[in-house]
Each structure stands twice: as C-alpha cells, then as structure tokens.
Amino acid sequence: MRLIAAIVALTLVAIAAGAVAGLQLFASAQRVADAKKSATPPPLASSYAGSARLRKLSPIVTNLAAPANNWARVEASMVTDSMSDEDAGILAAHISEDIVIYLRSASVSQFEGARGLQHLRDDLSERANIRSSGKVRELIIETLVIQ
C-alpha cells in the first residue's frame, strides 16, 4: 500500500512540475511573439536615389538570326532618372528598337546558360545607357522566352 501511495505522490509531483514548466515556456514564447509583432522591419536599402523611377517597356517579340524559325519574347523595365512621361515614352520606344535590332542579330546559342543571360543583360543595359546619354541607369530583363 505504501508503494502505491509513493507512486501516486510521485506522479502528482511530476504532473505539477510539468504543468509549471509548460506554463513558463508558453509565457516566454508569448513574450517573444509579441516582441516580434511590435518590432518594425529595417527599411530595404536601395542602390538608387529618390529620383529614380522604374518604367516598364512594352513586350518585344522578334525572330532571331539563327536558327531562322526561333522567336524571342522579352519583357523588360528600365530604371531612369527623373524625366517627363513624354520623354520617357520616346526613350522607351528607342530602347525597344535597339533591343529588337540586337535580338535579330543574335543566335540562340548566345543565350545559353547563366553566363549567356548575364552577357545579354550587360549588352542591353549598355545599349540603353548609350542611347539615353546616361539617363537609363539599368535595364532589367523580367522575362525572356525563346521558342
């Protein structure tokens, strides 16, 4: 009988200790969750000044030089300094023409792999920068589909 009473007493002590430990863990987890809710995330650092603006170019579809039956579709945006919407529209049209000219002289093998896409991005950014006399800071290729 003493043995059963000792087992019951130890079980009750273990239940009480477990309940106290669980409540303390729950309270500390609640404090951490509340602290995360009230903390504001740090602002994202931008490599561009406040006057920079992202302007989307209309999608460009053209055939490639080799093989002749391949087509490319490019969606891109340009990061420009502050300029009027009319000037930006004219500049976007000229840059789109430059992209078409570049793609018509390129072959599919030039765009293979990460290095090929990086060269394409660099070449088009350089052409856009030259065309705009430095007003376009970067040309961002959003999608490139070759069929």
Sequential pLDDT tens for the chain (147 residues): 889 999 999 999 999 999 999 999 999 999 988 888 877 766 666 666 677 888 999 999 999 988 878 999 999 999 988 888 899 999 999 999 999 999 999 999 998 899 999 999 999 999 999 999 989 989 999 999 998
Note the pLDDT of residue 67: 83
Rounded CA-CA distance 90/86 in Å is 6
Architecture category of domain 52-146 in CATH: 2-Layer Sandwich (3.30)
Contact 78, 95 (CB under 8 A): yes
The residue ranges of DSSP E strands in the chain, in sequence order, are 53-56, 60-63, 71-80, 136-146
- Whether the full predicted model's pTM is greater than 0.75, yes or no, is no
Q: Which residues on adjacent β-strands are paired with residue 135? A: none
The residue ranges of every structural domain in the chain are 1-38, 52-146
Q: What is the pLDDT of residue 99?
A: 95
- The angle formed by the CA atoms of residues 134, 46 and 88, to the nearest 5 degrees, is 35
